[in-house]
Amino acid sequence: MQGRFITFEGMDGCGKTTQLRLLAAALRAQGRDVVETVEPGGTELGQQIRRILLDPASSEMHARTELLLYFASRAQNAAQVIRPALAAGKLVLCDRFTDSTLVYQGCGRGLDAGIVRQLDAIACEGLRPDATVLIDIDRETSLARARKRNQRNGPAESRIDEESAAFHERVRRGYLALAAEEPELFLVIDGRTDVAGVSARIQDALGVALGTAGSLHV
Ligand code: TYD
C-alpha cells in the first residue's frame, strides 16, 4: 500500500503548524498511521541545516547558498523520513516543502524557477505532494502575528521575518499563482478566521470526517 503525502504551506504566521497538528490528531483518532515532519529540519542533519539557515548571524549568506541548503535539508528528509514512511503506507504531513522554495527563493529573492525545479528533481527525485494545504493570509495579518509571537517567544528566529513588505507580497502572490496552476492539488483556505473553523474546513476538504468523501482523498 502506498501512503499519502500532504504538505502545508503559507506565509509566516498563517497557522499552518497548528493546523498540521490538528489534522494529525484527527487522523490518528481514526486509527491512521501519521508521520509529521518539517522543512527545513525534519531530520537530525536537517535540524543543523535549519539552525544555519534561520540564524540572523548568517546575514552574509548568498541567495544561492541558501537555496542549496534548503534542498540539502529536503534531500535528507525525503530519503530518510518521507519515502520510507510512504512506502510503509503511512500518511506523511510536512510543514513546508518545495513550494516554499519556489515562492521564497524564487518569487521572493528572484532566483530562477527553472533552477529551483531542477534542484527539486535532484533532491527529491520526483517526490511530490498528493495534496497541498495553502493557508492564505495577507501581509498585515502575517506581520501582526509575527509581532505577537516575538513578544511571547523573544525575537524572531527567522531571517525571512526581517524581509521587506514587497518581498512578502511577492511570496503571497507566488503561492496563489502556484495554487491557480494546479487547482486539483491545492486546497486554499482563508487563514484569518478562527483556528477551529480553519481546521474543520481542512478536514472536510480532505475527507477526514467521512473517510473518503473529500475531494482530496486521504
Ligand atoms: P517555518 O519554520 O515554517 O517558520 P514559521 O513557523 O515562522 O512559519 O519556516 C522558516 C522560514 O524559512 C520561513 O520564513 C520560510 C523560510 N523558508 C524558505 O525561505 N524556503 C524554503 O524552502 C523553506 C522550507 C522555508
User: pLDDT tens for residues 25-75?
Assistant: 999 998 999 999 999 999 999 999 999 999 989 889 999 999 999 999 999
CA-nearest residue for atom 17, ligand 1, is: 100
In a domain, 216, yes or no: no
Is 175 in contact with 99 (CB distance < 8 Å)?
Answer: yes
**Residue 131: CB within 6 Å of ligand 1?**
no
- Mean pLDDT along residues 109-125: 97
Q: Counting atoms of ligand 1 from 1, which one is nearest the CA of 108?
A: 19
Query: What CATH number does the domain containing 19 carry?
Result: 3.40.50.300
Alpha carbon distance 134, 131 (integer Å) = 10
Q: Which residue out of 36, 160, 162 has the highest number of ligand 1 atoms within 8 Å of its CB and is therefore the one to mutate?
A: 160
* Predicted confidence (pLDDT) at residue 210 exceeds the cutoff of 70: no
* Predicted confidence (pLDDT) at residue 209 exceeds the cutoff of 70: no
Where does residue 176 rank: exposed (0-12), middle (13-18), buried (19+ CB within 10 A)?
middle
> What is the band of 76 on the pLDDT scale with cuts at 50, 70, 90?
very high
* Predicted confidence (pLDDT) at residue 213 exceeds the cutoff of 50: no
Alpha carbon distance 111, 90 (integer Å) = 34
- Cell readout for 161 is 521575518
Q: Cα of 185 to ligand 1 centre, how many Å?
A: 21
**Of 208 and 45, the one with more pLDDT:** 45
Of the chain, the end-to-end C-alpha distance in Å amounts to: 13
Question: What is the predicted pLDDT for the residue at 159?
Answer: 65
- Cell readout for 193 is 478566521
**Residue 40: CB within 6 Å of ligand 1?**
yes
Q: Counting atoms of ligand 1 from 1, which one is nearest the CA of 73?
A: 24
Question: What is the predicted pLDDT for the residue at 147?
Answer: 81
- Cell readout for 76 is 535528507
In a domain, 217, yes or no: no
The reply to whether omega before 40 is within 30° of 0 (cis) is: yes
In the block, cell 527545513 appears at: 40
In a domain, 218, yes or no: no
**Residue 71: CB within 6 Å of ligand 1?**
no
Alpha carbon distance 172, 182 (integer Å) = 16
In a domain, 68, yes or no: yes
Q: Cα of 215 to ligand 1 centre, how many Å?
A: 28
Tell me which of 41-55, 98-112, 197-211 is least confident: 197-211
DSSP 82: I
In a domain, 23, yes or no: yes
* Predicted confidence (pLDDT) at residue 216 exceeds the cutoff of 60: no
Q: Cα of 80 to ligand 1 centre, how many Å?
A: 20
In a domain, 188, yes or no: yes
- Mean pLDDT along residues 11-17: 94
Alpha carbon distance 10, 25 (integer Å) = 20
Is 44 in contact with 61 (CB distance < 8 Å)?
Answer: no
Cα 99–Cα 173–Cα 4 angle in degrees, nearest 5:
30
- Mean pLDDT along residues 80-106: 97
Question: What is the predicted pLDDT for the residue at 19?
Answer: 98
Q: How many structural domains comprise the chain?
A: 1
In a domain, 77, yes or no: yes
The rounded percent of the chain whose pLDDT value lies above 70 is 90
* Predicted confidence (pLDDT) at residue 160 exceeds the cutoff of 70: no
**Residue 174: CB within 6 Å of ligand 1?**
no
Q: Which residue out of 11, 12, 97 has the highest number of ligand 1 atoms within 8 Å of its CB and is therefore the one to mutate?
A: 12
> What is the band of 163 on the pLDDT scale with cuts at 50, 70, 90?
confident
Q: Counting atoms of ligand 1 from 1, which one is nearest the CA of 161?
A: 14
Q: Counting atoms of ligand 1 from 1, which one is nearest the CA of 101?
A: 22
Domain span including residue 161: 4-211
Question: What is the predicted pLDDT for the residue at 151?
Answer: 79
Q: Counting atoms of ligand 1 from 1, which one is nearest the CA of 53?
A: 12
Looking at every residue in the chain, the average pLDDT score rounds to 91
